Amino acid sequence: MEALLASPGFDKLAEWGPTLLAGFVNSIYIAVGGYTLGLIIGLMGAAGKLYGGLVTRDLLEVYTTAVRAIPELILILLLYYAGSDLLNVVMGALGYAEVDISGLAAGIVVIGIVQGAYTTEVIRGAILAVPVGQFEAGKAYGMGAFQIFRRITIPAMLPHALPGLGNLWLIATKDTALLAVVGFTELTLATRQAAGATKYYLTFYLAAGMLYLALSIVSGIVIKLIEARYRRGMAGAG
């Protein structure tokens, strides 16, 4: 143990530790922001697919199909660069100066759009799993569409949606690593910079892997607690 602590690799890890932790925090920020945005998009997308008009359903089908078919790395590159260029073109057309989009905001939007397509299908499937009689009972009590959605649909579909939503959170934490290709300093890019500067590649990539693993383990525990809470009283809940 003493030999490990005295090794040059450990000294370099301690030296670059704050950089790795800062990148790790950025990864969590992006994952939380992108996942939250994905949930919002998913709720609206699922409602549109189930209750929207023909044009709305067709547009959402194109969105979910395209996002799920195209590799996420390509999507991130397209959304990051093409989205930034399109925004500046619109700003120029409106007479405004070009804007410099922050990497954090761009990362959240990109992850959110990707997550939104998968979340749409998860929530749509969960809503379809709710017995129709529950919605009819709400109508019988004089509830409007929004009241039924808030008081019946969301609570009833959550137990069905939580396993899929939990998996999507874990995917979001890993997808943040893809943002390294556009130069945003999250954990993967910080690790690559540290390993390149010190040449201790194994040491730093193992450290990054341990941080991702720790986040995954903690997330898994929280997800299981949330699932247990919302599945209380359901058949087969244990």
- Domain assignment present for residue 196? The answer is yes
- Domain assignment present for residue 238? The answer is no
- Domain assignment present for residue 216? The answer is yes
Q: How far apart are CA 145 and CA 139, in angstroms?
A: 8
Q: How far apart are CA 149 and CA 153, in angstroms?
A: 5
- Domain assignment present for residue 146? The answer is yes
**Of the ranges 13-17, 32-36, 80-84, 92-96, the best mean pLDDT one:** 32-36
What the block records as the tokens of 205 is 């990539």
CA 218-224-230 angle, 5° bins: 140
CB 38 within 8 A of CB 168: yes
Residue 3: is its pLDDT beyond 70? no
Nearest to 206 by CA among 7, 8, 20: 20
CB 138 within 8 A of CB 147: yes
Q: How far apart are CA 4 and CA 124, in angstroms?
A: 52
Q: pLDDT tens-digit profile of 7-60? A: 556 677 888 888 899 989 989 999 999 999 999 999 999 989 988 889 999 999
Q: What's residue 4's pLDDT?
A: 37
88: containing domain: 2-230
Q: What's residue 220's pLDDT?
A: 92
Q: CA of 89: how far to CAs of 76, 102, 104, 105, 181, in Å?
A: 19, 17, 21, 18, 24
Q: pLDDT tens-digit profile of 138-149? A: 888 778 777 887
CATH at 165: 1.10.3720.10
Mean pLDDT over 71-88 rounds to 80
- Domain assignment present for residue 237? The answer is no
Q: What's residue 2's pLDDT?
A: 43
Q: pLDDT tens-digit profile of 121-165? A: 999 999 888 888 887 788 887 787 778 877 888 888 888 899 999
121-156 as b/e: b if 16+ CB within 10 A: bbbbebbeebeeeebeebeeeebeeeebbeebbbeb
Residue 114: is its pLDDT beyond 80? yes
Q: How far apart are CA 38 and CA 57, in angstroms?
A: 18
- Domain assignment present for residue 71? The answer is yes
How large a percentage of the chain has pLDDT more than 90? 29
- Domain assignment present for residue 235? The answer is no
- Domain assignment present for residue 236? The answer is no
Q: Taking all residues of the chain, what is their mean pLDDT, rounded to a whole number?
A: 84
CB 38 within 8 A of CB 115: yes
The pTM assigned to this predicted structure is 0.84
Structural domains counted in the chain: 1
